[in-house]
């Protein structure tokens, strides 16, 4: 699962702050299978045989971003969950992933776009394309891949938090 273990726990009873809803994340078709992905030679998708996400990636990324945003004392964030209606929020966060994988060269990549809108409009008040890369991953080390992808999600979440008024 995606998590930011190094950031500490989310404040319990976090009732104050600006309400933010992280909408369902747009995920490319090659990531929907639920298995972790390595890109070989820059063009070949290689799915892990046994390493799988514990939850659908569109929900897992929304949850992880909401948890990261909630670590900020001025934000109370909630991630998309099927069947659960958004809470009373002032802002929505929209995320579209384009890449979210490791490479056979040992790089870990998160590429996509995020935007923040008011809850009553889908017109963005802030947004940015992100291309976050980390080196040093050992192909086949899937726990290491998840840890680095979690760090990249946390970095993107900090950018989003700065954009929320």
For residue 12, the model assigns a pLDDT of 46
- Residues 134 and 150: beta-carbon distance below 8 Å: no
Per-residue pLDDT, averaged over 123-144, amounts to: 97
Closest to 144 in 3D by CA, of 58, 51, 65: 51
CA–CA distance, 79 with 93 (Å, rounded to integer): 9
Does residue 106 have a pLDDT over 50?
Answer: yes
For residue 16, the model assigns a pLDDT of 74
Fold of 15-163: Rossmann fold (3.40.50)
pTM: 0.92
Return the minimum-mean-pLDDT range out of 8-22, 29-43, 91-105, 139-153.
8-22
Does residue 10 have a pLDDT over 60?
Answer: no
End-to-end CA distance of the chain: 29
Can you give the residue ranges of every domain in the chain? 15-163
Mean pLDDT, the chain, whole residue set: 92
What 160-163 contacts at long range (C-beta under 8 Å, 24+ apart), as own/partner pairs, is: 160/65, 160/69, 160/93, 160/114, 160/116, 161/68, 161/69, 161/72, 161/75, 163/116, 163/125, 163/126, 163/127, 163/128
């Amino acid at each position: 699962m995606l998590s930011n273990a190094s950031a500490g726990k989310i404040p319990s009873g976090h009732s104050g702050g600006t309400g933010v809803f992280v909408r369902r994340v747009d995920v490319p078709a090659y990531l929907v299978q639920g298995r972790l992905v390595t890109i070989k030679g820059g063009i070949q998708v290689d799915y892990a045989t046994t390493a799988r996400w514990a939850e659908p990636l569109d929900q897992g990324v929304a949850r992880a971003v909401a948890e990261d945003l909630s670590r900020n004392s001025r934000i109370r964030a909630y991630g998309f969950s099927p069947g659960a209606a958004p809470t009373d929020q002032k802002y929505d966060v929209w995320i579209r992933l384009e890449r979210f994988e490791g490479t056979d060269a040992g790089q870990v990549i998160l590429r996509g776009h995020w935007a923040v809108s008011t809850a009553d409009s889908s017109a963005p008040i802030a947004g940015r394309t992100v291309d976050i890369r980390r080196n040093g991953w050992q192909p086949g080390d899937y726990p290491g891949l998840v840890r680095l992808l979690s760090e990249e999600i946390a970095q993107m979440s900090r950018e989003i938090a700065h954009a929320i008024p």
